[in-house]
Structure 1
Amino acid sequence: MQKLSKRMKLNLWLVWLVLWPISLWFSYTYYYINISGEAWNIILFALLMGAVALFPMTVNQQNVFFVNGVSLVVFILFGLFVEIVLSSLTLLIVLARVGTGKKDIYRIPLNIILITIGSIGAATVYNLLGGTHMAQSLGAFQEWTAIFGYAITVFVLNQVLISILDLVVLKQKRKIFDDGMRWESVYSLLYIPIGLIIYIMYVEIGWIAIPLVGIPYTFISVIFLLLYSYYHVNDLLEKTGDIGHRLTKRLDTNAVYDVFVQEMKELLPIDHACIYQVTDEKHLKRIRYYQDNTAIPLEISKDVFSEEVLKTGDSLLFKSKKEWTKSYPKADTSLPIESVLAVPVLYDDAIVGIVTVFSAKPKTFETLHKRILDILNNYLGVAAENAQSYNKKKQLSERDGLTGLYNYRHFSNQLSQYAVKVDPNTTCSLLVLDLDHFKPINDQFGHEAGNDILQQLARIMEAFIGKDGLVARYGGEEFVVFMPETSLEQARDQADRLRMLIANTVFVMTNHILNDSGPLKIQVTVSIGVAAFPDHCDDLTTLVRFADSALYTGAKETGRNKIAVFQQLQPV
C-alpha cells in the first residue's frame, strides 16, 4: 500500500470543501422534505446512530459500522439532506472511536465524500423505483422494491467506491470477497428488516419506537462486534499456530528468521520491526530489520525499549508517543513512531532474543497483539534454538575436529553431487597435498606440536583458496582441494604458488615436548599432485585417485617440495 502524499491529502480536503456543500444544497433543494416540528425525533435518531457508531469493527483497515438500518429510516422519514448530515456526524464518532490521529485526519473528508456519493446514488435509485417519503405503513410492492433497491445500492456503491479508492488512490489491490465485505454482507441481511421494524413502529406509535427498537438494535451492534472479535481472535490464533509449524520445520537459522519476519508483517499491523539476539555478554545484536515500504525510514541509534525488556524481562506496550516519552524522557522523540510493542524471546526460561515492533499510528497495538507476538516469539525461540543445534551437529559431522576443515566424507559427498550436475564441457581440477617429512617432526617435537603445524597449514590453505574451491582434510597430514571451473594450467599454477607460500612461511609450535618452554619456529614443505577433468578422466569421482597417484609417483618419489601432474609424471 502507498500512503497518501501531502498534496493528495490537500486535494481531498479541497474536494470535500467543494463537493459536500454542493451535495447538501442539492439534497435540500431537489430532495426537500418538510421537517418542521421533527427536531426532537431527528435528535433521537441522531443519538441512536451515535450509540451504534460507538461499536465499529475494523476489518482489513476498513471501519465497518452498522448504522445503515437507522440511516435508511432517517432517509425515508426526513429525506436525503438529514440523512447525509446525520451519517457524516456519525462518521466523526466512528473515527474518534478508532483513534484517528493527526496524520490520518484526511480520512474525515475522504469518508464523508464516500458516504455522500453513496447516499446520493441510493436516493436516486430509491426515487427511480417509485419510493415515497410519507410516514405510512408499508404495503405497496413498489415501496418494498424501492427500499430494497436503496439498500442494495448502498452496499454495492460502498464496495465499488472502496475498491476504486484502494486501486487508484492507495495503490493497493483488494480482494473482492474479503472479510470486510463478508461481514457487511451479513449485516446487510439484518439491517433491512430491523430498519423496517423501526419505521413501522415509528409510524404506529411515534418517537417512543426509537428507544424501544433502538436499544436492542444497539445491542445487536455490540453482539456483532463481539462475534467479530471472537472470529478475529480465533483466526489470529489459527494463523499463529500455522506460522509456528512452519518455523519449527526450518533447520536453517537464517530461514527461521526470514520466515518469522515475512509472516509477522502479514499478521500484525506494523511499520517497522527489529529482531535482536542476546549475545553471551548479555548485549543486543540486531539480526533482522523490517520496514514497510510506505513507512518513513527509522534510524534508531539506541533502542531503549528493547534494552528495557532485556533488563526487566517484561514486555512493553505503548499506544502513543505521549506514553513512551513519559517513561523514557531520554528517548529520541523525533522518531516517526507512535505505538510500540516489545516482547522477549524465551527459551528454557532464558531471554535469547527480543522482538520490537513499531507503528506510526497511535493505538495500533492492543493486548491481543501482545499475546499473539508472545506466542510467535515462543515458536521463534524453539525454532531458532533447534536450527542452531542442528547446524552445530551438522558442522560437527562435516568438519575435521583438529583443523576445522571439511572432513573427507563431506568432501566426497560434495564431489559426487557436483559430478551429477556437471556440464561435460566444464573443466575442473583437484589437488592432493601432503606435508613432507611430517613423521620426524612428530617424533622430535611431539604429536601436539605436529597438530600446531596442521592447524596453521589448514588456515593458510583456506585463505589461499578462498571461495575458488573446497578444502578438506584427506587424512593424517594429507589435504585435498577441489577447484570447479578451473583448467589444468590454472590448477598447476595455483598449486605451485601454494607450495611456495607454504615453504616461505614460518610455523610456530607452542605445544612441543622440548624442555625449552618457549614457542619454536620451523619451516616445512609440501608435495602436491594435480589432476583435471576431463583432461585425465571421464568421471569426476576418480580425480582424487589420479591426483593421489601424481602426488606419490611424480612428486614424493622425485625429491618432495614439488608438484606433479597426473600422467605427466615430471615434477614441476
Structure 2
Amino acid sequence: MFTNENKIRSNAVVFLVVTIMLALLFDKVPTHQMDIYTFLGLLLVTIFAACYPLKYGQMERINIFWIMIPVLYLYGLPMMILYYQLAIFAFLLISRMKLGNFSHYPIYAMVFFVGPLLSYTIITIFGFEFGTMPFLQMLLVNCLFYAIFALFSGVVIMTLNKQVKGLNLVKYKESLFGEVLNSIFFVLLGTALYTNFLMYGKYAVVVALLVYIITVKIYRNYDATLQKSATLENVMEFQVNFNDYETQQQITKEFLQKVILVTGAKQVSIVYETEKHFIFNNAQLEKRFINRFQLNLFQKVFAENKMHYIKKRAYLQMEHLLETDLKTESLLVIPIGQFDQPAMLLLESDALFAFNKVQIEHCKLLVTAYKTALEHKSVIEKTIYKSERCALTNLYNYRYLTERIEEMEIQLVQHKMETISAIILDIDHFKRLNDTYGHENGNSILKEFAAHLQTLVDEQYVLARYGGEEFVILLPNTTSDDALKLAEHYRQVIETLSFQITVLGQQIIKEMEVHVTVSIGVASIPEHTSKLSDLITFADKALYVGAKQAGRNRVAIFK
C-alpha cells in the first residue's frame, strides 16, 4: 500500500519522465507555426471540457478528442500530447473532491502520451498524412486514430484496475455499444470543427463548444434519471421484500447494503447511543465501541437530533476515534429515530463533497422504509412470541413444543440426529399448595419455579410448560445416561430452593417461605423407542410409575 508521500514521489517521477519524453518528441517531430491567441483559445476550451466531463454509467469520462483533432492538424502531434497532459492536470484538480489525491495521474499521463503516439505511428506507417483532405477521408483517418487510441487506453486501464476478470459480458456489450456511438459522435464533431475552423475561425470553436455543452448536459440529465430510477427501485425493493427477512438483523444488514448502493459511501454504520458508549453496527454487523466522552461530535448530533454533514476533512474530527483504515473526508449523520435506544445512520467516504442532495433525499427514503420494516417485524415477532409462550411462566408452550417435535422427527428420519432424550418434571403435591395457600400464591410459585428452571437448563435444550405443574425438557443429541445425570442435578437444586409467598391470616398479612420437590421421568431415543411421538409418553409413564408411585422427589427412567 502506498503512503501519500510515496504517491507524491511516484507522481513527480512520472511527471518528469513525461516532460522529458515530450521535449524529445518536440525535437524529433516538427510542430506547425501557431497563432498564440488561437493556441490559448483552444487550450481554454480543452481545459473547460476536461473540467466538465461526460457523465454516464455513474462515471465521469474525459472526451476531448474533438478538440484534439484541430490541434493535431493545425499544430502537430507534440502539441496534441501537450494539450492532453494539461487536460489531465485540470481534470485531476477538479476531481480531487472525488479522488482525494493524484494516485491516478501515472496511468493517465502514460496512456495519454503513449496512446496518441502509437495511433499516429500506425496511421503514418500505412501512408496516411494529417493535412487537408476530403471530409470523408479525414473522418475515416480520425476514426482509425481514435479507435487505436481507445483500444490501447481501454486495455491498459482495465488491466491495471484488474477489471477484466469476472466482467459482466451483457453489461459490457451494452456499455461498449454506448462507447462506440459516443466516439463516433465526437470524432464527427472534431472533424467538422477543424473543417469549419479553416473557414470561420473562432466562431466554429464557439459553436462546437456549445454543441459539447448541450451534449454533456443531456448525458448528465439522462444519467441522473437512471440513478434516480435505480435508487427508487432499491427503495421499493427493500420496502416490498422486508417481509422475506426472518430477523431484524437481516433487515438491518440489507438496509445498510442498500444505503451503500444508493450513496456510494465507503462505510455505513448505525450508531446507537447508550449510557456510556456509542455502539457502531456496520454493514457486516460487526460492532465496535467508542468512549462517548471522546466523541464530542456524536454528543452534539444526538443532542440536536438532526442531520449533520461534514463535506471535507472529517478525519480531523474522527482521527484515532473510529477504528477503521478509511481516511474519512466526508461524513453524513442522519437520525433514524427512537427504538430501544436513540439511533443514527452514519455514512463515511474518502471523497470530498461525497453526498449530493439527491443521494441524501434517497437515503432518507431508505431510512423511512427501514423504520417501517423494523416496526412491522417487531409487531410480527411480538405476535409470534406471544403465540409460542405461556402467559404465566413465559416458557415455551405446548404448541411450540409440538412444532419442535415435528422438526426433530424430520431430523431423525434424515439421520441428522441419532439420540434424543426427554425429561418431564412435576411439582410434588402442587394441588395441596394451591388449596393451602391459594391459587394466587400457586401461580407465584409456578412463575418463580419457571424462572429458576430457565437458569438451570442450557439454551441448546427445549424447555416448555407441558400443562399445569408439569414441565418438559427436550435434549437433542443427549444419551439416557447424560439425561439421568442432568435430571438428578435439577432435582437436587430445586430441592434447595425457597419460594416467597404472602399469606392472609386473621387480619394479618405475613410473608413466609415454602419449599417444593419434583418428581422426574426420563426416556430416550433409541434406548426406549424409535418414535419421537412416544418419547414424551414414555417419560410421563416413568414419572408417574417410577417416581410418583415410588414416593416422589426422585428421578426415574422408563423401563
Residue number among 94, 116, 119 corresponding to 2:116 in the alignment: 119
Deviations 1:199-223 (A, max 9, x none): 1111223343222333332332233
In structure 2, the partner of 1:403 is 393
What secondary structure is seen at the aligned counterpart in 2 of 1:472?
strand
What residue ranges of structure 2 are gaps of 5+ in the alignment?
322-326
Q: How does 1:258-273 map to 2 (within 5 A)?
A: 258-273=253-268
Aligned: 1:138 with 2:134: yes
Partners of 1:59 and 1:180 within 8 A in 2:
no
Which stretch of structure 1 is more off in the superposition, 533-542 or 424-433? 424-433
Residue number among 451, 471, 490 corresponding to 1:479 in the alignment: 471
Residue number among 430, 434, 438 corresponding to 2:426 in the alignment: 434
Cα root mean square deviation, aligned: 3.2
Aligned: 1:557 with 2:549: yes
In structure 2, the partner of 1:254 is 249
Residue number among 471, 477, 480 corresponding to 1:488 in the alignment: 480
Q: How does 1:364-375 map to 2 (within 5 A)?
A: 364-375=354-365
Partners of 1:313 and 1:351 within 8 A in 2:
no
Deviations 1:271-319 (A, max 9, x none): 332213578x9x98636224899xxx99675655554444334322221
Residue type of the alignment partner of 1:17 = F
In structure 2, the partner of 1:98 is 95
What secondary structure is seen at the aligned counterpart in 2 of 1:230?
helix
1:191 to partner: Cα distance: 0.2
Residue type of the alignment partner of 1:20 = V
Partners of 1:408 and 1:472 within 8 A in 2:
yes
Deviations 1:433-477 (A, max 9, x none): 100011121122222222222122212222222124110000111
Residue number among 312, 335, 340 corresponding to 2:331 in the alignment: 340
Partners of 1:432 and 1:479 within 8 A in 2:
yes
Q: TM-score, normalised by structure 2?
A: 0.88
Aligned: 1:463 with 2:455: yes
Question: Are the structure 2 counterparts of residues 58 and 358 from structure 1 closer, same or farther at C-alpha, using a change threshold of 3 Å?
Answer: farther
Question: Are the structure 2 counterparts of residues 72 and 240 from structure 1 closer, same or farther at C-alpha, using a change threshold of 3 Å?
Answer: farther
Deviations 1:493-550 (A, max 9, x none): 11111111101122222x4445654532121100001111111112112111111111
| Alpha-carbon distance in 2 for matches of 1:103, 1:213 | 32
1:371 to partner: Cα distance: 0.8
In structure 1, the partner of 2:186 is 191
| Alpha-carbon distance in 1 for matches of 2:21, 2:166 | 30
Q: How does 1:526-541 map to 2 (within 5 A)?
A: 526-541=518-533
Which stretch of structure 1 is more off in the superposition, 94-103 or 235-244? 94-103
Aligned: 1:377 with 2:377: no
Partners of 2:518 and 2:552 within 8 A in 1:
yes
Deviations 1:379-438 (A, max 9, x none): 100111111111111110001111111001101110111111122871211011100011
Deviations 1:162-218 (A, max 9, x none): 2112119xx996656458756544421210111111011112233432223333323
Which stretch of structure 1 is more off in the superposition, 545-554 or 213-222? 213-222
Question: Are the structure 2 counterparts of residues 116 and 512 from structure 1 closer, same or farther at C-alpha, using a change threshold of 3 Å?
Answer: farther
Aligned: 1:218 with 2:225: no
What secondary structure is seen at the aligned counterpart in 2 of 1:535?
coil
Partners of 2:56 and 2:223 within 8 A in 1:
no
Partners of 2:306 and 2:334 within 8 A in 1:
yes
Question: Are the structure 2 counterparts of residues 110 and 292 from structure 1 closer, same or farther at C-alpha, using a change threshold of 3 Å?
Answer: farther
In structure 1, the partner of 2:309 is 317
In structure 1, the partner of 2:65 is 68
What secondary structure is seen at the aligned counterpart in 2 of 1:564?
strand
Deviations 1:6-29 (A, max 9, x none): 586357425513531243134323
Partners of 1:474 and 1:480 within 8 A in 2:
yes
1:268 to partner: Cα distance: 2.4
Partners of 1:138 and 1:200 within 8 A in 2:
no
What secondary structure is seen at the aligned counterpart in 1 of 2:328?
coil
Residue type of the alignment partner of 2:234 = K
Identity %: 22
| Alpha-carbon distance in 2 for matches of 1:226, 1:453 | 71
Deviations 1:29-86 (A, max 9, x none): 343222x233222211111112222322456775312312112332232222111211
Q: TM-score, normalised by structure 1?
A: 0.86
Question: Are the structure 2 counterparts of residues 172 and 453 from structure 1 closer, same or farther at C-alpha, using a change threshold of 3 Å?
Answer: farther
Question: Are the structure 2 counterparts of residues 489 and 291 from structure 1 closer, same or farther at C-alpha, using a change threshold of 3 Å?
Answer: closer
Question: Are the structure 2 counterparts of residues 257 and 308 from structure 1 closer, same or farther at C-alpha, using a change threshold of 3 Å?
Answer: same
| Alpha-carbon distance in 1 for matches of 2:354, 2:289 | 17
In structure 1, the partner of 2:499 is 507
Question: Are the structure 2 counterparts of residues 276 and 140 from structure 1 closer, same or farther at C-alpha, using a change threshold of 3 Å?
Answer: closer
| Alpha-carbon distance in 1 for matches of 2:356, 2:60 | 17
Matched residue pairs, number?
547
What secondary structure is seen at the aligned counterpart in 2 of 1:537?
coil
What secondary structure is seen at the aligned counterpart in 2 of 1:489?
helix
Aligned: 1:41 with 2:38: yes
| Alpha-carbon distance in 2 for matches of 1:291, 1:99 | 29
| Alpha-carbon distance in 2 for matches of 1:507, 1:540 | 35
Question: Are the structure 2 counterparts of residues 13 and 53 from structure 1 closer, same or farther at C-alpha, using a change threshold of 3 Å?
Answer: closer
What residue ranges of structure 1 are gaps of 5+ in the alignment?
326-330, 568-572
